[in-house]
Structures are given as C-alpha cells and as structure tokens.
Structure 1
C-alpha cells in the first residue's frame, strides 16, 4: 500500500511531466527524475522512472506512429545496445556528478555552435553515436535529455516527426535503464508498490494524451523556439545538480 499524500504527489508529478514531454518531446523526464529522487531512494526511483517513461513514450510513439523516422530509430538502437554492453562491463564508469556536469556543459556548447556544426541525428553515423552517448549517460546518471534534444533541435524534421521519433528511441533507452537498475534493486532487496507502478503508468498515458490538442495547435517555428529554451533550462538544471553533488551545497 502507498499513502494518499505519496499517491497524490506521484500522480501530479507524472501527469504534469508527461504533458510537457508530450507537447515538446523533452524536459518532462528530467523534471520527473528529480521529483522521484526526492520522493524515494535511488534504485526504486530509477526503476519507477524507467517504467513511467516507457509507458509515456510508447503512448506518444503509438499516437504519432505515422511520423516516426524509422532509419533513425534503427541506428540509435545499435548505438544504445553498444552503450549497454560498455556500461555493464564496467569499461566506462564516470561518476553521476561528472555525467550531469558533462550533460549541462555540452548542451550549452551545442546550442552555441553554428548550424553546420550542430549534431544531427538524421546523419547515419551521428545517430549511432547519439544512441551510444545518450544511453550511456542514462545508465550513469538516469537522464540524457538535453544531449538527445541537441541532436534534434536543428534538423529539418517537423515537430511531430521529432516527438514521434524521440519517443520511439527513448523507449529503447528506458528499457535498458530499467533492466540495469532493476538488477540493482533486486540486489538491494528493495521493492516498489504495484499500486504506485499502476498509478504512474496511468498518469503517464493520460498526460501524453492530454497534450495532443496543444501539439496540433503549435507551429513548427514555435516548437523550435521553445525547444531551444527548454534545452537551455534543462542543461542549467543538470549542471547545477552535478556541481552540487560534486562540490557540496556551496554553504
């Protein structure tokens, strides 16, 4: 069983962040990660975040399935599987603070680059690299949103193609994260209430469906403008979290 205050906080957190992600294809997952880490320990938070994001992203991908750019999904998946092998083998294991600082600094640098130098997920080799980099960061820090968004923000894809394709590839990344942190949860002999899981899934799907009307009304120009602002905001949060974890609370 879960308490009513916890249930209300969980439902509100998942519903609101899924709505944001359904509208812009970004930011919601990172905000939710911070909220869940406040509500529960790390391993259960990572697992519940993975379950929630899989539900939300699958709902978005299905809702906009005709807009998915499938070659990007296939190439990203190849890179994601490579990252899973690398992280699981322990070949690369930077700390969470370093990963968060890297996400923040790299995202700001990417936004400042001229158009011709900005990462582009529609380029075959870059799609594979995106899958490797973003999935590796997900397994280390739990998030990779600003970096992933950077690969999409200056492509020629429309807003629905971006959201649909990102939803499909993020589902893959979150499945790998769920497997990775689910193993840790079993080792720690922890658990998550089934009611909390069902509540989170329902809120994630509902938030995604509620965002469709506003997405249809949003223009590609408006979407691109707000996407850059959200990337900057998410990068700032990531950088701040990493600095606090690495150097303390600055007191």
Structure 2
C-alpha cells in the first residue's frame, strides 16, 4: 500500500525535525529527570511550533511515555502505589469522556489557545496550593488529580505543574514525588495518543507524524532521564522545590506571551 502523501510544509520540516526532535527530547528529559516536570512543558511548546497540533500532541505523548516510564523505573522503589491506582482510574474516566466529545465534533485546540493554556499551566505553580489542603496520598485527592491533570493534558498537551499541587502538603521525599508523578503521568499521555492519534491516523494515515525523528529521540530520552536522576541525587529537598517553581514560571511566562502575541495576529 502506498504511503500517504505529505504536504510541501511537511516535506520541508522532515529533515530539520530528524535532527531537532532528538536533541530537544534529550534536553527536556534531562530537565524532567531533575525536576519531575518542566521538561514536558518545553517539549510540548517546541512541538506545537514545529508540527500540526494533533501530531504535536501524539508525538509529545509517545516521547513523554518513554521519558516518564523510564524515570519511574529508575525510581521504582520510591513509587507510592496507593496514589497510582486512584489516579489511573480517574485518568481513564476523563479520557473516555473527552474522547467521546472530541471524536463527535472533531475538535482540536487551535495553536494560540494551546500556547496560552501552556502558559497558564506553567504559572499554576503560584496557586496557593497549601490553602487547598490537597494531598495525593488521600484517595479522593488522588482521583481528583487524575481528572484535573488528564483533562488539562488533553487541552494543553501537558499538565505537570497542576499535578504538583497535590504533592505540596505531602510528607513524601523528593524521590517519592518524582517517582510517583512520573508513573502517574504515563496515563494522561496515553490518553492523548488515543484521543488525537485515532482521528489523525484515520484522516491522514499518519503522514503528519515524524516517525523517524521519534525513533531517534527515544534512546536520547532515556539517556537524558538517567543523567537527570544523577543531578537529582545531589540536590536537597529544599533546593529541589525552590528551583522547580522558578524554572516552570519562566517557561510559563514565555508561552503565555507567545500565545497572546499569536492571538493578536
């Protein structure tokens, strides 16, 4: 069977993506390996600039499943499984609801909205999380985090900082936080692949997907994640929490400005 035809734009972007995507994947996996998030924000923004939004969501989902899955495996002894169970159940519910809506009306968030949403997700680290008294170790809170994070992920492509709200009041160590968040994030990214990947493949035969670039990015994602863990092991819990907030804030401000500029034309 003949391969689906690519547009001129897709052909023009194919060669640069084969080089750019693996490099970006390594850097963002390194960042996530250290802070447990932020890398996903950077990767999603880059993909939203380089690819059609549906393809960006699916590509991001594939790479982030590898990155988060590998990070979770490296820290597997620190995963808090009681959190994972409730989170996964809520993620499934959110994915089914969103898939039903998205497939019926064939809606994909426009590029400016994605950047604004990414910016707001980044700035969410400044929400007064301690006042909410949320703790991912509580079943109801773990379930709520799965609904919120998966739903936001399906709109913005990433929602790591929102997940962090449920770990602010916890007594977990930095390794337990990174390990549990890493494994839980596999579910929203899988939801993105299912919701956006199905229509993308049926409509265009997957022609918009940079498959070679993704294949090359996967091993570099593993290397970046492993290098990030080495840095994490040398940080203190206080330093970890402080640096995470400021890194994500700067990324969020950049995306918010980009999205508002695009909306203004």
Scaled by the length of structure 2, the TM-score of the pair is 0.82
Gaps of 5+ in 1: none
| Match of residue 90, structure 1, among 95, 98, 101 | 101
Alpha-carbon distance in structure 2 between the residues aligned to 1:37 and 1:106: 15
Report the count of equivalent residues.
248
Alpha-carbon distance in structure 2 between the residues aligned to 1:182 and 1:57: 19
Q: Report the aligned-residue RMSD.
A: 2.8
Instruction: Determine the structure 1 residue equivalent to 2:219.
Output: 202
**Kindly tell me: are residues 103 and 16 of structure 1, through their superposed partners in 2, closer, same or farther at Cα, counting changes over 3 Å?**
closer
Per-residue CA distance 1:54-78 (angstroms, 9 max, x = gap): 1111110110000001111111111
Question: Which is further off, 20-29 or 1-10?
Answer: 1-10
Q: Are 1:19 and 2:34 matched, yes or no?
A: no
Structure 2 SS opposite 1:211: helix
Instruction: Determine the structure 2 residue equivalent to 1:149.
Output: 164
Query: Cα offset for 1:153?
Result: 3.3
1:33-72 alignment, distance < 5 Å: 33-72=44-83
Per-residue CA distance 1:167-215 (angstroms, 9 max, x = gap): 1010111111111111121133133344222112111111101112111
Per-residue CA distance 1:79-98 (angstroms, 9 max, x = gap): 11111122122299895666
Instruction: Determine the structure 2 residue equivalent to 1:215.
Output: 232
Instruction: Determine the structure 1 residue equivalent to 2:153.
Output: 138
Query: Cα offset for 1:148?
Result: 1.5
Whether the 8 Å CA contact 1:107–1:235 is kept in 2: the answer is yes
Alpha-carbon distance in structure 1 between the residues aligned to 2:17 and 2:120: 34
**Kindly tell me: are residues 103 and 18 of structure 1, through their superposed partners in 2, closer, same or farther at Cα, counting changes over 3 Å?**
closer
Alpha-carbon distance in structure 1 between the residues aligned to 2:65 and 2:221: 9
Instruction: Determine the structure 2 residue equivalent to 1:248.
Output: 264
Runs of 4+ in structure 1 displaced over 3 angstroms? 1-5, 91-110, 237-245
**Kindly tell me: are residues 149 and 99 of structure 1, through their superposed partners in 2, closer, same or farther at Cα, counting changes over 3 Å?**
farther
Structure 2 SS opposite 1:127: helix
Query: Cα offset for 1:157?
Result: 1.3
Query: Cα offset for 1:3?
Result: 5.6
Query: Cα offset for 1:234?
Result: 4.1
Alpha-carbon distance in structure 1 between the residues aligned to 2:228 and 2:38: 14
Structure 2 SS opposite 1:188: helix
1:97-246 alignment, distance < 5 Å: 108=123, 111-113=126-128, 115-189=130-204, 190-191=206-207, 192-244=209-261
Whether the 8 Å CA contact 2:118–2:156 is kept in 1: the answer is no
Structure 2 SS opposite 1:157: coil
Whether the 8 Å CA contact 2:70–2:225 is kept in 1: the answer is yes
Query: Cα offset for 1:138?
Result: 1.1
Alpha-carbon distance in structure 1 between the residues aligned to 2:129 and 2:185: 26
Instruction: Determine the structure 1 residue equivalent to 2:18.
Output: 7
Structure 1 SS opposite 2:233: helix
